[in-house]
Chain A
């Protein structure tokens, strides 16, 4: 009976951690023409990229394949998503994350710096961030604020700050006031513009669309990573804060065309 309980719970989690492939090439960052700007942590470039779910209401019960296969480029609505690295890199990783999720924090602190150094700075991979708000209202505020930082080309600095100062879920560390304090620590941030953007919830629809898409696609946790070729083909969905060596094995296989 005990082993049965363990097996059932293991199945629940292993099922979500194992990676699987989608057949549709519909998902992915559109290849842009801009080159990556150099900075300490790589500059984000505002590249039209993204998708708008056919049904804006989250529905996690639909099968993932069916949902993603319905997303053709013709249906994609242009959105502004933060991109780290060269948009024309051969491989794109799309991270669906929540700023309050501890595993997303682990990915940002442990894996992303190594990924950045080894693959992003060398132009082999670019990283796109999408919102998957699941942890409550503070997560929503953080997601919208990050888009406001992105508007000023400072998303990745904001990303680093939030994940570096992550607190307990819904404890207030990601309240609107604290988000403004975090933003004020970023050199060159126009705080008047940022505060106005946050207060007016300027990017709410983008965050809602990303989240609805994630639910509709059947993503079962954060962070969810989609690793695909830059033309959107061969997407592979990974759930979890993959450590760098494991992600490296996946990326090397994908780069070598395996």
Chain B
């Protein structure tokens, strides 16, 4: 009984660590993760009006943007890791990639990066949906932080899901009779 418990605990913690170690022990996957995270970070920083390229390259972090920036950076890192893991799964296993949580998480991350009603996205909503568009863009704008947290939650779920897929493909079924 105690052996079973130990085994279960080990498998629980390693379920998240082992796939990470396995995938990020090779340079191509590190590079993919880094590039994806950087691309998303740049996009979200542009959306947040923190990063400018013309006429000078300039990044600044005003007080009102600190929390959002931290969450967007976490989202970027998670996104990079998950994209890289999904590519690994696609190339090395026959398993079908579960994309729902990944895509919803990344899309939410991008959407919540915008102050919707200040940007072209909000204008698109307002011009196509009228009063409903105003409400929708206000919601996106007012609930930016909770949406970003939700986005991180979805990406964390995507990470868990991919890790489990990878571990299950190598798992030993202890209940199987010898």
Give the size category of A's interface with B: 35 or more
Indicate whether A6 sits within 8 Å of B142 (C-beta atoms), given known contacts A19-B54, A104-B118, A253-B55.
no
Other contacts beyond A5-B103, A135-B138: 7, CB < 8 A: A2-B36, A2-B103, A10-B43, A16-B120, A100-B117, A103-B49, A170-B134
Q: Which residues of A contact B (CB under 8 A)?
A: 2-3, 5-6, 9-10, 12-19, 60, 98, 100-106, 109-110, 134-136, 168-171, 220-222, 240-243, 245-246, 249-250, 253
Indicate whether A249 sits within 8 Å of B141 (C-beta atoms), given known contacts A2-B36, A13-B119, A134-B126.
no
Indicate whether A221 sits within 8 Å of B39 (C-beta atoms), given known contacts A18-B54, A134-B126.
no
Tell me how far the C-beta of B140 lies from the nearest C-beta in chain A, rounded to whole angstroms. Answer: 10
Which partner residue on chain B sits nearest A248 by CB separation?
A: B56
Which partner residue on chain A sits nearest B111 by CB separation?
A: A9
Q: Is B119 a contact partner of A221 (Cβ separation < 8 A)?
A: yes
Tell me how far the C-beta of A6 lies from the nearest C-beta in chain B, rounded to whole angstroms. Answer: 5
Partner among A5, A242, A253 whose Cβ is within 8 Å of the Cβ of B110:
A5
**Could you count the A-B residue pairs with CB atoms below 8 Å apart for me: how many are there?**
108
Q: In this assembly, does B115 line the interface, its C-beta being within 8 Å of a C-beta of chain A?
A: yes
Size of the B side of the interface (Cβ < 8 Å), in residues, is 39
Q: In this assembly, does B83 line the interface, its C-beta being within 8 Å of a C-beta of chain A?
A: yes
Indicate whether A13 sits within 8 Å of B141 (C-beta atoms), given known contacts A101-B117, A103-B118, A221-B118.
no
What DSSP secondary structure best describes chain A's contact surface?
helix
Q: In this assembly, does B127 line the interface, its C-beta being within 8 Å of a C-beta of chain A?
A: yes
Tell me how far the C-beta of B153 lies from the nearest C-beta in chain A, rounded to whole angstroms. Answer: 18
Q: Which of B94-138 contact A (CB under 8 A)?
A: 102-103, 106-107, 110, 114-115, 117-123, 126-127, 134, 138
**Neighbouring B residues of A13 by C-beta, 8 Å:** 43, 46-47, 114, 119-121
